Every structure is written in C-alpha cells, then in structure tokens.
Structure 1
C-alpha cells in the first residue's frame, strides 16, 4: 500500500512473503527488504513455562535465556536496518539538494548573455571558415598569375 507523510512525501510499501520492502533508490530494482523474526512467546518457547519444581524452573530459565538471546539478535538486526535506511535517506536528501541546486543554476542563467555569447561564437566560427576558404584559394590565384 501507500503511506502518505506530511506535505508531498509519499512512501510505497511493498510486502513480499511477510517481509516489507522499501524502494530506496532512483532505479526500479533498488529495494531493501526487512525481515523480522516471530517474537511471540510461543515462537520463543516461553509461552508454557512450568515453575512447579526446581528442575522445571531451571529448565525455564534456560528457555528464558535463549529467548533473551533471540530477542537481542532481532533488536540488533532492526538497528542494522535502521542504520541502512538512515544512510539511504541522507543519500537521497543529498541527491535532491544537488539536483535542486543544478536546476536553480540553469533557471537563473542570464539567457540574453548566453545568447550573445552563442552568437559571438557562431560569428567567430563562420569567420574562421571564410578565412580558410580564402587561404585555400590563394595558391590557385598565384598559379594562375604565373601561368598566364
């Protein structure tokens, strides 16, 4: 679906195999997928802990330690995703600033001045071409005078 932010900001979020994908670049294939593991108590194995005996409580502590490790690992992955997204956002903002600056320079160009420079360049080019044509004719004129 599409998520609309403040102002003109729109995000298109694509979900493939329960994994959200973000379009992160200018090209069609520049996507970043995010996969977050199932963190439910059942998936972590701590939904039905039995604490009725010392042995069961010790086994439960082992399961809780495993669950803590899994959650910590997922938090680390999420932090990594956040860093990648933050870097991508900064890069896109930098590109936007550069494009806007280039567009402003183009729009602010003094059209009259640029046209005068263009016309001057054209006159110089045409003058050079005419001089070359005359220089090429000079040896023929000299030969015709000598010959006759």
Structure 2
C-alpha cells in the first residue's frame, strides 16, 4: 500500500502511526538526554558528598584538645579550600549551558511523550531544588580555627550531608523514572510498528493464493479454447 488509491483509510491510519513512531523515537532520545543531564548533576553531588565527609573528619580532629590552635589553623586552611571547592563545583556543573547545582536555574521540562499533556508527556527537573552551594547547605561560615567552632561544625555538617543525600535521592528517582519511560517507549514503538506493518504491507500468503487461483483458471480457460479449436478440425477429418 503506497498510494491513497490503494486503501485511503488504511493509508491515513498508517501515516498517523508512522508519525507517532517517529515522535516516540525522539521522545526516547529526549529521555536519554535527561538521564545524561542527571548523571552530570549526580557526579557533582557525589564529589561534594566526599568533601563534606572530609570536612567532618577535619572538624573532629580540630575539636580535640590533643592539638593546639596552631594546628587548628593549618586544618582550617584545608577546610576553607574545601568550602571554596564546593562552591566551584556548584557553579560550574552544567548541562548544555544550564547550571544544575547552584540554584540559579529553573524547572526544566523533559518531553517524554508525544502529546501536550504537562502531567503525562513531560517530566520535570527542578534545578532550583538542587542547590548545593555552601550557603544552601548551611556551612557558609564554617571554620575550625577554634575548638568551639570545630565542635559546632559537627551538627552543621550532619545537616548538610542529610540535605545532600535528599538531593541525590531525588536525582536517582528521576533517573529511574526516565529509564522506565525509555523501556516503555521501546515496547510501544514495537507494537505500533507491528500494527503499521499489518496495515501497510501486502499479505503475501493471501496474494500468492489468489495468484495461484488465477493461474489455474487461466490454464483451464486455455485448455477449453484448445479443445474447442481441435473439435472442428476433427470433424473436418471425419468428413474428409
């Protein structure tokens, strides 16, 4: 079926299915791009998690009277470098020009359906909720310059780690949902392709049967004509 004249209704249905399968293919690519974006964000949060663990370790060291203020000063230099690194990661982690972890972004729509229903056809990555700057984590003024400040750091860092884990959990949940969407799109496309094939492609078995039937009838017709031509010739021979 290649022309509307073959089967106008069938061709219309086939073309609608073709449009849907092409759109689904792009929706699947969108979902895969969404996973790539989340993996970029996850890489940044994982590194910040390692930094927070190190900062807590240093705070434990500085909270003890087994070292003096001079040693605490050395420890604090590393803590401040780590604090700056958190902000650097937050400000430089981006995907396709969009900042993902510093709270300056907005809600990003990931079109994973073929229609315009905001609840069924789009998933949302809210980059504003993924803010991992030291200010957002509550550790902007963290210091180990004194025993008291080092001791106060412990709860601040615990709270920061908890918040970061919540962010990572949200990223993981969205990534899993996108993967499920990709799997579902693949199954949906296979079913649509099969339906289009049934509508568009010629049923070879039926066509072969019809061709065989036509050939038999044609051969039978030729045989009858041949016999009809032979009978007058035989009559002439008898008369002769």
TM surpasses 0.5 = yes
1:37 aligns with 2:130: yes
Higher normalized helix content (fraction of residues): 2
User: Which of the pair has the greater relative contact order for Cα pairs under 8 Å at 6+ separation?
Assistant: 2
Uncovered stretches (5+) of structure 2, i.e. residues with no partner: 1-24, 35-97, 99-104, 211-240
* Alignment match, 2:108: 20
Unpaired runs of at least 5, structure 1: 1-7, 118-148
70, 74, 80: which one pairs with 2:173? Answer: 80
Distance 2:205 2:178 in 1: 45
SS of 1:42's partner is helix
Corresponding residue to 2:142 among 36, 49, 54: 49
Q: SS state of the match for residue 34, structure 1?
A: strand
- What TM-score, normalized by structure 1, do the two folds share? 0.61
Q: Cα deviations across residues 16-54 of structure 1 (Å, max 9, x unaligned)?
A: x70111112122112111224211122112232121222
TM-score under structure 2 normalisation? Answer: 0.39
- Structure 2 Cα separation of the partners of residues 48 and 109 of structure 1: 74
SS, match of residue 130 in structure 2: coil
Over aligned residues, Cα RMSD in angstroms?
2.9
Pairwise CA distance, 1:83: 1.0
Aligned positions of 1:104-115 closer than 5 A: 104-110=197-203, 113=206
CA distance in 1: counterparts of 2:186 and 2:205, whole angstroms: 33
Aligned twin of 2:93: none
In the alignment, the residues of structure 2 paired with residue 93 and residue 113 of structure 1 have an alpha-carbon distance, to the nearest angstrom, of: 31
Q: Deviations over 1:45-98 (max 9, x none)?
A: 223212122221111111111110000011001010011111111111111111
Aligned partners of 2:136, 2:205: CA distance in 1, in Å? 71
Q: CA deviation at 1:112?
A: 9.7
Looking at secondary structure, tell me which structure has more strand per residue: 1
